[in-house]
Amino acid sequence: MLSQNKIKYLRSLELKKNRIKENKIVLDGKRLIDESINQNVEIEHIWINNLLELKEHNNPFINKIKNNGIHFSYENEKNLNKISNTKNSQGIIALISIDKFYNENLEKFDDKVIILDQISDPGNLGTIVRTCAWFGVKSIILSKNSADIFNYKCVRASVGGHFFIKNLAYLSYKDINNFISSNNLITFRSDLEGEKIDNKNIHNNWALILGSEAHGVSNKLNFDKKITIPKKGQMESLNVSISAGILLNELINKS
């Protein structure tokens, strides 16, 4: 059974400073945990509501946990609810390690990279991660002043998209510029004042740069081209995750 100290520890990971110190997060819900197993994420332990044990004999999900040799135990609902970070907990919670997601070795980054500058809304960030996972973009660079990609709201919005990220780094503007130039990436910056994206100019090696809705992309970032999504109405702007989706579709499916 979970000790009060362990419960306190698991809850402490809701705070960014503790996540960064421990390099661990709590996953909440079957769908997320199932996907983390599929993607060979390092799972430290899974806690399952003991009512599920009684109700579901020979449960395929529990069999999958057993077959993968993952540590797990049954726990009472009251304790699980204390750790849960969702409104309607399904009673399945995991502690996972996240240090393998970060990759300081920039040489391993792909030739298709998304660079996010000052994105502050974790819901938008999570939706962008999910969209990257759909389009097979596995390398994400964030400016240092962006939201934490392991914020629980972000993890929920990405619905498991995190587990497809292979290269992740928070970099200074200087290091982002160095990364772009040393990798000869064609860089597209999403901007209200840019050109319509021209499919003839899309090469295999590119970086797509998106900024926050409030502040845009910092002028400290170098880029080749400002691109825009042609507008037909009078609306001032698009949600940043929508812009990311439309531009990734152009870059991935039209090149």
Map the footprint of its own copies across residues 163-182, applying CB under 8 A.
164
Q: How far is the CB of 78 from its own copies (least distance, A)?
A: 28
Residue 241 binding its own copies, by CB under 8 A: yes
Residue 234 binding its own copies, by CB under 8 A: yes
Only segment of 71-79, 126-134, 180-188, 219-227 that touches its own copies (CB under 8 A): 126-134
Which ranges in 50-162 belong to alpha helices (H)? 50-55, 60-67, 77-83, 122-135, 152-158
Q: How far is the CB of 234 from its own copies (least distance, A)?
A: 6
Residue 163, both tokens: 């587990």
Q: How far is the CB of 246 from its own copies (least distance, A)?
A: 5
Of positions 27, 119, 133, 185, contacts its own copies by CB under 8 A:
133
How do beta strands 92-97 and 43-49 pair? antiparallel
For its own copies, the closer CB: 182 or 237: 237
Residue 72 binding its own copies, by CB under 8 A: no
Please, are residues 217 and 189 in contact by the beta-carbon 8 Å criterion? Answer: yes
Per-residue string for binding with its own copies, 185-224, x by CB under 8 A? -----------x----------------------------
Residue 154, both tokens: 């972000």
Only segment of 46-54, 157-165, 168-176, 200-208 that touches its own copies (CB under 8 A): 157-165
Residue 119 binding its own copies, by CB under 8 A: no
For the CA atoms of 63, 163, 155, 120, what is the dihedral angle to 10 degrees? Answer: 180
Q: How far is the CB of 24 from its own copies (least distance, A)?
A: 24
- What is the side-by-side strand order in the sheet with 225-228? 167-171, 139-143, 112-117, 206-211, 186-196, 225-228
Q: How far is the CB of 155 from its own copies (least distance, A)?
A: 14
Cβ partners under 8 Å of residue 122, min gap 6: 147, 148, 151, 153, 154, 157
Binding positions for its own copies, rule: CB under 8 A: 123, 127, 130-138, 157, 159-161, 164, 196, 229-239, 241-243, 245-246, 249, 252-253
